[in-house]
């Protein structure tokens, strides 16, 4: 064996000995112990080409010319499948569909209009996540309002919005809160912090949604035939595995909780194909390093404390019971909808845009007459093209 091949092992051993001699502290030991696994976690192992190739071969072997519709319901999966070119690596029978996984895309026009109406109120600072800025409502968007001189700001964390409220005590600061289960705990914790710190000029406009009702709506749609769900990794980090059990038990559709690196996604697809072919319906977890089977109980506890389920409207799926999160009565002082008396303009959908059908997986972006003709990333017509996680934007960018 050449020296070149043998050297890495020796180097690893030498560096770990040196490390334990140099820093005998418990923290360092612990870090050294974890280092290997975590390094492997992100940079190399889950992006390894040979491992990915092995899984693609396994997918071709297992699928055996069967036709299967697999749907992912997470914007980051939409992006990942596009970025790593996984759609083209699939056998012809395996269709990877994009479902309602992009929170910005599923936000109804009326909710955008409400945020716009609040941004137009004098003195208000409206804060939100970056993806929301360009999403068109009926006649305007938050970005367009900013261009007109309204105080609309992009924040990375709801805590930044709270800091803004603390540093501007005389102005109401509203956080337009979009997102699924992953984001809701962050908002809940921020509201609790606002209450603890007696901040009375911080409000949220809750447009939160939870994923299981949307999956149920898709699972029982007779016009769609879904053979398996690629379940969202970071939503499951909070919800755990049980939240999706109904898909297998009630509808007989298997699901695999999947991570976001190429090897993660391919492994999820492989597990799903094996289950679909053998007629098994189960919910499995292929992202165990980030998803415990119970999820994050602390985070769920905070969400339960602050929010209660309520009916909300999804673009493409319509009104779904218990699919949204509204503030509980004791937290109503933080509700921007209660604080401001706003008149929302009549809702108008963009003419010809088929974002709703694309979100349901009924049609491909290419089947929309506007796609790449008058609807482009530079001049988007609907939210599926606006959001970087939207199916149309991802398709144009990576295909």
Residues 92-151 interacting with other proteins (rule: CB under 8 A) = 101-104, 129-131
Footprint of other proteins on 150-169 (CB under 8 A): 154, 156-160
Is 178 a binder of other proteins (CB under 8 A)? yes
Q: Which of 235, 257, 283, 326 binds other proteins (CB under 8 A)?
A: 235
**289 binds other proteins, rule: CB under 8 A:** yes
Which strand (E) or helix (H) includes residue 154? strand 152-154
Binding flag, residue 225, other proteins (CB under 8 A): no
* Residue whose tokens read 């939503």: 235
Size of residue set near other proteins by CB under 8 A: 75
Burial class (CB in 10 A: 0-12, 13-18, 19+), 319: exposed
- Which pairing describes strands 307-314 and 318-327: parallel, antiparallel, or unpaired? antiparallel
User: C-alpha distances in angstroms, 27 versus 14, 19, 31?
Assistant: 19, 12, 6
Evaluate the CA torsion angle 248, 251, 253, 259 in order and state its sign.
negative
Which residues between 21 and 40 bind other proteins (CB under 8 A)?
27-28, 30-31, 34, 36-40
Compare residues 41 and 342 and give the one whose CB is closer to other proteins: 41
| Least distance CB 89 / other proteins (angstroms) | 14
∠ CA 21-22-26, nearest 5°, is 80
| Minimum CB distance to other proteins smaller for 262 or for 370 | 262
Residue 278 class from Cβ within 10 Å (0-12 exposed, 13-18 middle, 19+ buried)? exposed
Interface residue with other proteins among 136, 137, 179, 316 (CB under 8 A) is: 179
User: What are the strands of the beta sheet with 255-258, ordered from one edge?
Assistant: 94-98, 68-72, 228-232, 255-258, 283-285
B/e letters for 373-398, b = 16+ CB within 10 Å, e = fewer, are eebeeeebbbbbbbbbbbbbbbbbeb
Minimum Å gap between C-beta 369 and other proteins is: 27
User: Closer CB to other proteins, residue 202 or residue 287?
Assistant: 287
CB closer to other proteins out of 179 and 213: 179
According to the binding rule CB under 8 A, does residue 382 interact with other proteins? no
- Work out how close the CB of 51 gets to other proteins at its nearest, in angstroms, rounded to a whole number: 6
Q: Which is nearer to other proteins, 10 or 220 (CB)?
A: 10
Which residues 183-212 are close enough to bind other proteins by CB under 8 A? 183, 185-186, 189, 193
């Amino acid at each position: 064996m050449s020296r070149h091949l043998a050297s890495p092992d020796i180097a690893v051993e030498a560096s770990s000995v040196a490390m334990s001699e140099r820093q005998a502290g418990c923290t360092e030991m612990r870090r050294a112990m974890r280092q290997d696994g975590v390094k492997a976690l992100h940079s190399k192992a889950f992006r390894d080409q040979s491992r990915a190739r092995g899984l693609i071969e396994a997918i071709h072997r297992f699928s055996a010319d069967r036709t299967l519709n697999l749907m992912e319901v997470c914007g980051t999966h939409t992006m990942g499948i596009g970025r790593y070119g996984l759609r083209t690596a699939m056998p012809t029978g395996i269709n990877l569909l994009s479902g309602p996984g992009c929170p910005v895309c599923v936000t109804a026009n009326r909710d955008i209009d409400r945020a716009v109406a609040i941004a137009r109120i004098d003195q208000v600072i409206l804060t939100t996540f970056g993806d929301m800025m360009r999403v068109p409502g009926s006649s305007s968007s938050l970005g367009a309002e900013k261009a007109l001189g309204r105080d609309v700001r992009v924040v990375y964390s709801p805590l930044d919005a709270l800091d803004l409220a603390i540093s501007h005590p005389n102005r109401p600061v509203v956080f337009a809160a979009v997102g699924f289960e992953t984001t809701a705990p962050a908002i809940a914790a921020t509201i609790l912090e606002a209450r603890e710190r007696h901040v009375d000029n911080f409000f949220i406009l809750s447009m939160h949604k939870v994923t299981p009702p949307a999956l149920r709506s898709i699972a029982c749609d007779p016009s769609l035939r879904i053979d398996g769900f690629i379940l969202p990794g970071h939503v499951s980090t909070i919800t755990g595995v049980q939240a999706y059990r109904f898909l297998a038990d009630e509808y007989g559709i298997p699901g695999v909780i999947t991570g976001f690196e190429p090897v993660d996604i391919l492994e999820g697809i492989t597990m799903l194909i094996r289950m679909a072919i053998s007629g098994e319906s189960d919910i499995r977890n292929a992202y165990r390093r980030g998803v415990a089977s119970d999820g994050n109980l602390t985070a769920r506890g905070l969400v339960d404390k602050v929010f209660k389920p309520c009916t909300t409207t999804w673009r493409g799926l319509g009104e779904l019971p218990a699919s949204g999160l509204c503030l509980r009565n004791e937290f109503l002082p933080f509700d921007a909808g209660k604080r401001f008396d706003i008149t929302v303009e009549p809702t108008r959908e963009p003419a010809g845009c088929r974002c709703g059908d694309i979100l349901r997986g009924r049609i491909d972006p290419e089947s929309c007459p506007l796609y790449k003709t008058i609807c482009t990333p530079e001049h988007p017509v609907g939210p599926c093209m606006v959001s970087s996680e939207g199916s149309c934007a991802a398709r144009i960018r990576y295909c």
